[in-house]
Structure 1
């Protein structure tokens, strides 16, 4: 049964040291508030999975929470690089970081396979790249019907998926809309799911194009207004472009980042 919990209780119950954690959301609905609570609780040795790592994963890596990053693109959207990730890869500060890189299509298909209970997914992809030579979750299969050689990617099944949504009802059914990524697939592929929402309502009224995650796939709902900021929540608030630009200077400098980290922990 889905529980409506505080952020601290939900993260303590569902995110553990050594877990594989997927914080998903594309362009908007990025679960920043949950990521910040993971940092405050000092989780370590996490394998962080995300199609498009941006600021929240830069922050988690800089805080020393991660030992591995599994992704298909990484950067500060519209601004530049993730400098805490770059520092970890180049110097091992604050801890060494392993990476596993895929294409967008490959990562999306890994989630779909995991959600479908399949061991791998098949796609036309990776041709002309050297990713298969460096990534042991990419292989090849021959189609039994046509003889065509295709790419195969191992399913990904995180221990816990963390997503943000616009709203949930009191039974724990979750509704999200706008530009969608792989939130649904990540939740279905994972053993546990934590969903932060802008609000809890008595009834989920229909919204064109919305996705509803039923309560039986959600372990905990956390009411976290503004929980996707500085990304946006469609219908609730806009993207804070200035925050993304400001992060570039913070993330470039270890002292500036350490000051940001100290303030984050104090604010919690």
Structure 2
């Protein structure tokens, strides 16, 4: 598409394909729920999802049977409990079997950074004394430092087909501004082949008085303005986290029929 700023429907329709590897990041803050819901509505299938902390939006996409693999470093409903759609997919293969590739937070950040830097792998000490390397031999290897001889873990770089984030603002040129907790959003943007951004608002010019991260327009594939696009997570300066919804998801997601009815009424 020639236009960079488009509707959410067009953004997902043109840039997300069946079978894509997708990273939707946001660390408790600015989680791109609206983009995830549009992926569900358009029934994008056979997806590989990547996220440091899969929470409710990934539970929803997995529960709808659209995911074949999850690459992650922690999965749960923050402060509440399990993700029951994720859990049932892993334990019972319902509604579809789910492959999992588990890492530590540090390793995921390292792999994103490697991908953003154009390197084939990242290096860390964090896997020493754990079984994660043994469980993921295709993605974690042991190497010796050429300077000290120290044994270190190498983790394969992450380069998603599509990186999706939510931010507070974009200007009309397509530059993006984020402030508050950012997690690994910047790394995902630089590591991904295509970058899709939903924002709370489009402004004439980004405010240089507010500290934050500015993502240049030339990195961004497409933008859509979606108010409350991160709800029920929060967007600093715009709205607070909906803690009540996170608590209610515990009961909604436990039963597949109740989950399906909720998705029909609220997403589909």
SS in 2 for 1:38: helix
SS in 2 for 1:200: strand
Q: Name the CA distance, whole Å, in 1 between partners of 2:9 and 2:86.
A: 26
- Aligned runs of 1:133-152 on 2, under 5 Å? 133-135=134-136, 136-152=138-154
What are structure 2's unaligned runs of at least 5 residues? none
- The 1:88/1:114 distance shift into structure 2, 3 A limit, reads same
String of CA shifts for 1:164-197, please: whole Å, max 9, x gaps: 0000000000000101111111011010010000
String of CA shifts for 1:103-132, please: whole Å, max 9, x gaps: 000000000000000000111111111000
Q: CA deviation at 1:207?
A: 4.6
Q: CA deviation at 1:209?
A: 3.8
Per the alignment, residue 26 of structure 1 pairs with 27
Q: Name the CA distance, whole Å, in 1 between partners of 2:126 and 2:205.
A: 42
Q: CA deviation at 1:264?
A: 3.3
Per the alignment, residue 262 of structure 1 pairs with 264
String of CA shifts for 1:120-174, please: whole Å, max 9, x gaps: 0111111111000111211111000110110100000000000000000000000
SS in 2 for 1:205: coil
Which one of 191, 194, 205 corresponds to residue 193 of structure 2?
191
| Count of matched residue positions in the alignment of Structure 1 and Structure 2 | 266
- Give TM-score, length-normalised by structure 1: 0.97
Q: Name the CA distance, whole Å, in 2 between partners of 1:206 and 1:234.
A: 17
Q: Name the CA distance, whole Å, in 2 between partners of 1:49 and 1:157.
A: 10
SS in 2 for 1:128: coil
8 Å contact 1:163–1:195 — kept in the other structure?
Answer: yes
Per the alignment, residue 213 of structure 2 pairs with 211
Per the alignment, residue 66 of structure 1 pairs with 67
Q: CA deviation at 1:24?
A: 0.3
- Give TM-score, length-normalised by structure 2: 0.97
- The 1:116/1:40 distance shift into structure 2, 3 A limit, reads same
Per the alignment, residue 92 of structure 2 pairs with 91
What are structure 1's unaligned runs of at least 5 residues? none
- Aligned runs of 1:151-190 on 2, under 5 Å? 151-190=153-192
Identify the range of structure 1 (253-262 vs 154-163) with the bigger mean alpha-carbon deviation.
Answer: 253-262
Per the alignment, residue 15 of structure 2 pairs with 14
